[in-house]
Amino acid sequence: VDNSIDARLPKQTENIQVTLDFVRRTISVFDDGAGMGPEDLKNGLTIAMGTKQKGKLGKFGLGMKSACSALGKTFTITTSRDDSDLDYVACYDEYKWLNDSTRNWTNFQIDDRKKTRSWHGTLIEISKLNVPLYPNQTAMFKRDFGIRYGTYLRHGQISLYINTTECRPIEPEIQKDSRINLEMRLGKNSFKGWIGLLARRSIKGDYGVHLYKNYRLIKAYDKFGIRTHPEVAKIIGEVHLDHVPINYQKTDFIRDSLEYKEAEQAFGSHPDVRLTMRNSTGKSLSTQPILSVLEYDKDKPVQAKLKTRMSRPNSRLLLNQADTFNMDGKPNHTVIFKDLDETKLYEIEENLTGHTIKINRKSPVFDIIGNPMFLIGMIKLEAKLALADLKRYKQFLHDRNAAWNQFVKDCAGSREYVFKKPVRAVPLPSYSLVHELVEMHDFLAEKFEFDFQFTALSTLAPFLQHAYNKMIYTIKTLKYTGQQLYDLLLNYRPSEFTIILNPKTGDIEKALEYSEKIKFIVIREHHTVSKKTWAAPAHAWIDLVSEMRRSKYHIGADEIDIILENLLNADLVDMKKLENMCRHKNVLSYIQKYLGDKI
C-alpha cells in the first residue's frame, strides 16, 4: 500500500483495492496510480536498489519485494504506464528460486505483454501464503489503515477498500477547544503537528502522539515527549517528522538518531505541550478558563477563586495560551492578542462586522499584574465602556493607554525589580565570560525576557590545562522558558552552535559523536535562577562537576581538579565558602573527592 500511495498521480484521487480471498487463500493489491516501466519494476525487485525520492513512503526500495516474499511463497506483479501499450510482468516462485542457482535479484526476468485493455497502475497477487487469513482481519485492517493512512484519506488523496469495505480516516473524539497547533524549528529542520485532550481518558493505553513521516503513520499512540502514566491518559496529537530517519521496515523512527532526540526534546519541552499535559492531569495553571474569568461581572457567581499571584513564567505561559474569543458571546466584538507598540496596552479597530479589540501581550503592564486574567478582565470592561460611545471611543482609548503608561512608571519607581535589566556578574580579575559568548550574552540580555545565567565552561574554559576540539557551554534558565531561549539561540548564528535543551542521559554523548559542529550550548531549566547573567567562580565550578555527574563529559576528573587549583591560585574561590555551597546544594558527598585535603 505504501508503494501504491507513492505512485499516485498528481491532482487525482488514487483508488487502492486490497482483496483478501479466504477461499483461494490469496492476497492482492491493485492501484490505478502511475504504474512502472521495465526498469522501475526491475529496480523495485533488486535488493538495495532503492529509487525512491526523498519524501516517499517506500523510501528504501525494500517494501515490495520483502513484503511480498514475507506474505507468500509465490507472487506475480503486473504493471503498466498510461503512455505504454505494454504490460510488464514479474513472477516469483520460492521453490524454483531456491533450486535454480542462476536466479538472483540482480537478473530478475521481466516479461512484456501486449495490453488487452486501457489501464495504468499496478496489480500484485500473492499466493501460497505464509500468514493466516481469516474474515475478522477485514475489520482489523480497516481500523489500522484508517489510522495509518488517515491523512491521505482525510484529504482525498486516496480511496482505499479492503474487499467491499471502505476504509475511512479514524478521528479521535477531542475535548472541545483543547487542540493546539504546533510548529517547531530545529536549525535547518522543522516539524509541525498538534496536541490536544481526548474527550474521555483511555484505560487501554490508546493515548499519546501519532508520529508521521511524509503523511504516513509510523507509530500510533507513541509517548513521544510525554511520560507513560494514567494521569496523562487523555493526551492525543500528531507530529510530522519528515526530516527524521526511519528503519528499513518503516515501522519506527531511528530513536538513537540526533534528529529524533532533538525533535522529542523540543516537543516535550514546548510550553503548549507542557500546559496540555498539566491540563490532562487536572493541575491547570489557571483556576478557570479565560471565558469563565471574564464573566465575573455578570449576575451568576464565579465558580472558583482566581489566584491573585503566580510566578512570572506561569503568568507568561498562561498569557501565551490566551486565544481569540468573542466578547460576551457577541461575534461583532472579537478579542485577539497581538504584539503592539509598548506604549499601548490595547487598541480597538473597526472591522466589516463590528470591532476588534487587540490586546498587547508584550505590554509591561502584564509584568506588574500577578495573574494576566485579571488584566484581561479589566481590559474587557474598559472596551465595553469605549464601545458604548462610538463617537468618543478613540479619545477614550488614548486616555486609558496614557493612564496605563503612568501606572507603569509609578510601579517602576516603587518596584524597580520589575523592570531591572539582567545583572552582569561583579567583575573579578582574570575571570569573565568566555570571549566567544560575549555577543551571545548581550543578544540574550536584550531579547530574552526571563532570567538566565551562563555557567560551567561558559566561564571556566580559560582555566583548562588541555586543549579540546569540542566545547560545551551551559546556560541556566527558568522552568517553562527553555524553549523560548532555545528558539532565540537557533536564530543567533545557527551554523555555529548545536543547541541542546534539557538533555537526558546519553544525549550529550550522542551530540558529541554525531554533530559536525564543535561548539555546543546546553540549556537546563531550573525553578530559580540568579539575577546575575554569569555564575561566580565557585558556582560555575560546582555546576561543571554536576554536568560531569549527569553524563560522560568530554573532560576528565583530573581536569576538574586542575581548574579548582587554578581558581584557588588566583584567589577566586574560598574553600570554606565552597564547602558550604556544596553542603547547601546537597552535593558535598560527590564533590568531596575533588576537595580532598584542600579544605
Cα–Cα–Cα angle for 236, 239, 243, rounded to 5 degrees:
165
In a domain, 585, yes or no: yes
Tens of pLDDT, residue by residue over 194-238, are 999 988 776 656 788 989 998 777 887 889 998 777 767 889 999
Residue 423 lies inside a defined structural domain of this protein: no
Task: Identify whether residues 19 and 134 lie together within a single domain.
Answer: yes
| Residue pair 429/446 in contact by the 8 Å Cβ criterion | no
Report DSSP letters for 544-565, one per residue.
HHHHHHHS--SS-HHHHHHHHH
Look over the chain and give the mean of its residue pLDDT values, rounded to a whole number.
81
- Together in a domain, 95 and 68: yes
305 plus 253 within the same structural domain: no
Say whether both 152 and 267 belong to one domain. Answer: no
Please tell me whether residues 271 and 147 are part of one structural domain: no
| 429 within domain boundaries | no
Determine the structural domain holding residue 235 and report its residue range.
180-281
Domain count, the chain: 4
Q: How many CB atoms lie within 10 A of CB 289?
A: 13
Res 399 pLDDT > 90? yes
Please answer whether residues 380 and 345 qualify as being in contact, where contact means their C-beta atoms are separated by less than 8 angstroms: no
Same domain? 105 vs 188 = no
Q: What is the pLDDT of residues 497-506, one digit of tens each?
A: 889 999 988 8
| Higher-scoring residue by pLDDT: 271, 407 | 407
Whether residue 382 sits in one domain with residue 320: yes
**Per-residue pLDDT at 166 exceeds 90:** yes
Question: Looking at the structure, do residues 485 and 533 belong to the same domain, yes or no?
Answer: yes
Let me know if residue 403 belongs to a domain: yes
Q: Give the residue among 415, 501, 448 at the shortest CA–CA distance from 184.
A: 501
Same domain? For 138 and 272 the reply is no
Q: Is residue 79 part of a domain?
A: yes
Q: In this predicted model, what pLDDT tens digit does every residue of 35-72 receive, in sequence order?
A: 999 888 887 776 444 444 444 545 444 457 777 888 89
Q: In the structure grid, which three cell numbers stand for residue 270, read together?
A: 514546548
Helices H / strands E in the chain, number of each: 21, 21
DSSP 357-410: EEEETT-THHHHSSSHHHHHHHHHHHHHHHHT-TTTHHHHHHHHHHHHHHHHHH
Residue where one domain finishes, among candidates 226, 257, 281? 281
User: Is 276 in the same domain as 302?
Assistant: no
Please report whether residue 427 resides in a domain. Answer: no
User: Which are the contacts of 201, defined by CB distance < 8 A and separation ≥ 6?
Assistant: 207, 230, 233, 234
Shared domain for 396 and 451, answered yes or no, is no
In a domain, 494, yes or no: yes
In whole angstroms, give the CA distance from residue 579 to residue 594.
Answer: 11
Are 19 and 144 members of one domain?
A: yes
Whole-number Å distance between alpha carbons of 86 and 38: 10
Domain boundary among 100, 132, 166: 166
In a domain, 384, yes or no: yes
Looking at the chain, how many residues does it have?
A: 599
CATH number where 202 lies: 3.30.230
358-368 per-position pLDDT tens digit:
998 888 888 78
CATH number of residue 33's parent domain? 3.30.565.10
| Residue 168: closest CA among 188, 192, 184, 148 | 148
